[in-house]
Structure formats: C-alpha cells, structure tokens
Structure 1
C-alpha cells in the first residue's frame, strides 16, 4: 500500500472449475466445494483494506457453487448481492441475500455454509469484532460488555438499509478505479470507516439499536464526570464506589443512579471495562517473550484467574492468544 493512497488488492482471479475451487479453498478456507451444474466459470475477489480492522471487498462467482468453511475467528462480514443471490446458513441462522432486496451478515466464529447462485456478484464489508464493538461504544457513550451480534438479514430495498448499501457501493466505486483519488487518500480512511460502520449499526437490527435511535441523552452531571475522569486517569488504582463518591462529592447511592441512568452500568462495571480495554491494548503491543499475561493483569488491578474470565467474556478469546497474536 502506498503511503499516500489506498489501492485495490486483487486477491484472486481464477478461471475454470479447477482453478475456481482451488481459489475458494486457499483464500476462503472453503471445504466440500460443489460447483454448479455448468461448473465454475470465474472466481474473482478484490479487497481494499481500510485499516482499523475493516476491509471492503468485491466478489464474483460465475455459474455458482456450494461450499462450507470452518470458523474464521472474531470477525463479522456483511454481503450485499448486486446480481444473483446467495444463501448463508450458520447453526440455527439462515439468510438469503438477493440483489436489491436483502443483504446477509455472517459471524466469523461459526461454521458457515454458502450457496452462491449463477452470475453472482457481490460487495462485502469485513470487520473485526473488537473494531465493531469499540465503534458502538463510542456511539452509545458507554462500554459494550457483550459481542455485537447483528441480525442475519438486512433489508436494502428501502430506508436505511438501501442508503447504507448505496454508500457501500459508492465507496467501492471511488476506491476501485485506481489513480489518484480523494477517497483513496490515507487521511480519508477514518472518515470512510466512520461512515460505513455508523451506517451499518444504524441500519441493522441488534440489541443496541434502541439506544442509538433514542433522543440525545441529557448532559451528564458534574459529579459523574468527575468520577469518570478519576477512573480513566488511573484505572489501575483500587477504586471503590465509596471512594469515587467521596472524590465526586456525592453519595454512593446517587453515583450508582447516575452510572445506571447515563451509562447503563455500575461504577465497578465501568472500572472493569476500562481496565480490560487498557489490558487489551497492552497485550496487543507487548512482546510475548518479555511480557506475561499475569504481569498485564496485575498492572491493571486484576488477579490472573479473574482477569482470564473477564477477558474471555469481553473479547471472545483467552488473553494469551491476544498476547501472541500481537507479536
């Protein structure tokens, strides 16, 4: 990738059944590939990395096929059919993407079975679970304790879904034509990610949709802002509801009420979330030959055993895996 612009990466462009099946196996981890009656004519995949755990892509599977994949990891994929149709089945979730009508979302931590129809052309957005969760946290102004699970089907015939699908296509068209483009400049990437992720969360069904759609919340009281500043400045310290309330100049009961009303959590719940985020950052940045999970846990006020439990619940994997993945 050039320093000043984003470019399209041609992941694969395979012709014929043998090459097409091999490409699906190599690039998507496909298993049990079954070409359609006429065989595979072409398999093409192109992507544009947008940074921050977000990738924009385009796919084409001519003549269709059926294949399965094993779980790919903590990621979410949204597929919009431009021509043809595709059916996705994951555990008890089944969804169909049809051109101009519906898009499908896929959970990377579940086994997947995909049926892609003849002359199937699609656009996709792939993003890491942490990237989606952190973006949602910024929008709602509070920690998100559970993985963000989107409804399997997103209607794109009208309303927000249609506008988001049009936005996705517009960004792809501007980035895929090559040459010097304003959209392709590195300084535009945060804006493009913001546009695509915010639009997806506003258009899709999920348990936080109501919080995004409700009117703007009233301003946080001064004593709550003080407590938040104290936690964010020194989350490693042994804060308690009583100590935070004393520093904020209010009662423990009032402080609990403010955290529940404005952040939908408790003072200790918020403190734990901030500590987990700091620990997660340290694990990603650390050298596993010089740092241990226990050291990171103690640095942020956790006991190692409790840290492993909370971390796995928050990030969907043990902290040791994050430590070695970041190396």
Structure 2
C-alpha cells in the first residue's frame, strides 16, 4: 500500500524526487527521454520504504537530505560519488548507504531498479541511545557498506518483512508500525558500521539488579497497549538501555522487546476469550491491534505460548 508517482520528463521527475526526499535534486538525462517510477510506502512519520525505477541513463546530483537512505540495488548499475569521498560502483544485490544525512552526492545511474529505506536520524538516535538525554553525539555511520555478506542478507530479510507488513496496511496500527520502524532502525545499526557502542559498561552491570528489572517490568505491563520504546522502558527504570537489556537477559533469560511482546500476547488472549468464539475476523482484528501483521502470525504465537489456537480456547458465548 502506498503512493505511485511516474514521470517521463526531467522537470516532473525532479519535482517528484524533491517532494519525496527533500533537498535540491537535479537530473541530467542528456538527449534521451527519462522514465521514473517511484512507489512510496510510509511506515511511520520517521520511516518510509520506496522502490525507485530509473529508465535509461541519469546523472543525479543531490544536496544533503537530512535523512538516512539505505539502498539495495535490484537491477542496473549505480556509481556513487559522495561529497568528499571516492566513487563506488554498485550492482544487483548490493546494499549500501549512499551518503551521510548531512552530505550531498552525485549518482551515475543506468537502468536502475532499487529499494530504499528512508529513516529519520532522530529514530536512529533514540534506538541507539544508552540512556535518555545522555548520548554525547548523534549516530554517524562510518562506512557505506555492510559489515559482512551475512549482514547484508539480514538487511534484505528485515526489509522484505517490513515491506510485506506495510503492504498489509500497518500505518493505522500504531503498535505494529512502531515496531517495524524500530526493527529497521535497529537492523541498520547492526548491519552498517557506526559510532554507537553496545557493550554494557561496569556501571550498567552494577545497575542490572532485580529492583531495576522490576521497575522495567511494571512499566511494560502497565503500558503494553502503547507504542513504547526501549528508551521509554529505560527511563521508567532509571537506567541505561544497556543495563535494562542486561537485566532482562541475566534474570529472565529474555529481552525487553520479547517481554513486551509476551505481555501483548497475554492481552490479546484475554481479549479473545472475552469476545467469545474467535472467528477469523475477530482474530485478525485483535492481531493488528496488539502488534501482529495478521491472524496467522498471532495464531502461531498463541499456539507456541498456550498450546492451542485461539478458536480452541475462546470462551463460549452464552445465549
């Protein structure tokens, strides 16, 4: 689900790209008539997933966009010239960051078809933050390429999941949309080298005690119906995100995100039991409301947790 824009002249193509990405984007198609198709799908105000198809040959000059753009080339060829950097050529299957949000670039593009994720740097900062208000500098990526081939495959997998979920229509479901957006941001921080630190400090290890864990658990249990983040949980627990993660792992052998999802599954189960016999429509609506893409995903999680399907454990309706 999303919007589709098409252009067969340079002026309209430039307008589409400027309105979608911001900044000053200029195209040079030479004497050949250009072809541009942009399929845009918004996950949240902080994240958008696009498919861009360039027909024929383009030279593209882009001023700083202020957003992080991650690309995966499906077909064609791209030669990127980041401001202050060396030219890099990419082919089908390559995943890469064309430029930092504050830097411009030029692109030599031939018959290219690629998928992009556009992320607000503020979302990356919130996911990477060690504690609310204590991060000394914003996230900065130190390489344009993934740390490994396996990491690039991980990006493909998560991007594919995000796109499939968006196509099911997540934008109206705040829990699902928020979790997909943060999953993309977290994966980006794992896949591409950057300046964030993830290992717990001595202070984090000292703070990962049961009292702090209990504060975090209570906050999660009382706010499972909200689109809360790890930063929110850490703030409520008066600890860093790293300390919260360590506490959940040390004392419960799980993660804060998994615990939150477990609480939402319990709420969904309670809701289905109150509703009476759970038909497919009821299960699908409950799934979306509590952060699952659809009924099959909720049913699978329900069966793993409770050993039966929602339809088998729902309370019978009285006449």
Place the TM-score, normalised by the shorter chain, in its bin.
Answer: 0.5 to 0.7
The C-alpha deviation readout for 1:56-86, integer Å capped at 9, x for no partner, is: 221111113012122233x211111111122
Aligned length: 217
Give the match for residue 202 of structure 1: 190
Partner Cα separation in structure 1 for residue 44 and residue 7 of structure 2: 26
Could you tell me which of 126, 133, 144 is aligned with 2:135?
Answer: 144
Mapped pair 1:113 → 2:106: yes
Cα distance between partner residues in 2 of 1:198 and 1:33:
32
Could you tell me which of 24, 27, 30 is aligned with 1:33? 27
Check whether the contact 1:36–1:63 (CA below 8 A) recurs between aligned residues.
no
In 1, Cα distance between equivalents of 2:25 and 2:179? 37
Match of residue 135 from structure 1: 127
Q: In the alignment, is the contact (CA less than 8 A) between 1:151 and 1:205 conserved in 2?
A: yes
Q: What residue in structure 2 maps to residue 287 of structure 1? A: none
Aligned counterparts, 1:34-49, within 5 A = 34-35=28-29, 38-40=32-34, 42-49=35-42
- State the partner residue of 1:78: 70
Distance (Å, rounded) in 2 between the aligned partners of 1:67 and 1:56: 20
Partner Cα distance (1:15, 1:77) in 2: 24
* 1:32 CA displacement: 4.4
1:87 is aligned to: 79
Q: Aligned pair 1:163/2:154, yes or no?
A: yes
Question: In 2, Cα distance between the equivalents of 1:45 and 1:121?
Answer: 10
- Give the Cα–Cα distance (whole angstroms) in 2 for the partners of residues 104 and 168 of structure 1: 14
Using the size of structure 2 for normalisation, the TM-score is: 0.56
The runs of 5 or more residues in structure 1 that have no matched partner are 1-6, 226-258, 264-327
Cα-to-partner distance string for 1:237-296 (whole Å, 9 max, x where unaligned):
xxxxxxxxxxxxxxxxxxxxxx9x989xxxxxxxxxxxxxxxxxxxxxxxxxxxxxxxxx
Q: Deviation at 1:203?
A: 1.0
TM-score by length of 1: 0.55
Q: Deviations over 1:104-157 (max 9, x none)?
A: 242232222122222x1111111122211111015x888331121113422397
1:124 paired to 2:98:
no
2:13 corresponds to 1:20? yes
Asked if the contact 2:72/2:94 (under 8 Å) is kept, the reply is no
Native 8 Å contact 1:97 1:104 kept in 2: no
1:9 aligned partner? 3
Q: Is residue 61 of structure 1 aligned with residue 48 of structure 2?
A: no
User: Are 1:101 and 1:156, in contact at CA under 8 Å, matched by a contact in 2?
Assistant: no
Contact map agreement 2:37 2:52 (CA 8 A) in 1: yes
What is the CA distance between 1:201 and its match in structure 2?
Answer: 0.7
Q: Give 5+ residue unaligned stretches, structure 2.
A: 213-239, 245-319
CA deviation after TM superposition for structure 1 residue 204, in Å: 0.8
Structure 1 residue matching 2:198: 3-state secondary structure: helix
Contact in 2 for aligned 1:102/1:156 (Cα 8 Å): no
User: For the structure 1 residues 44 and 184, does the alpha-carbon distance in structure 2 shift closer, same or farther, using more than 3 Å as the test?
Assistant: farther
The alpha-carbon deviation at position 38 of structure 1 amounts to 4.1
> Are positions 1:220 and 2:207 aligned together?
yes
- Cα deviation per residue 1:174-204 (whole Å; 9 max; x = unaligned)? 423xxx5579744311221122111111111
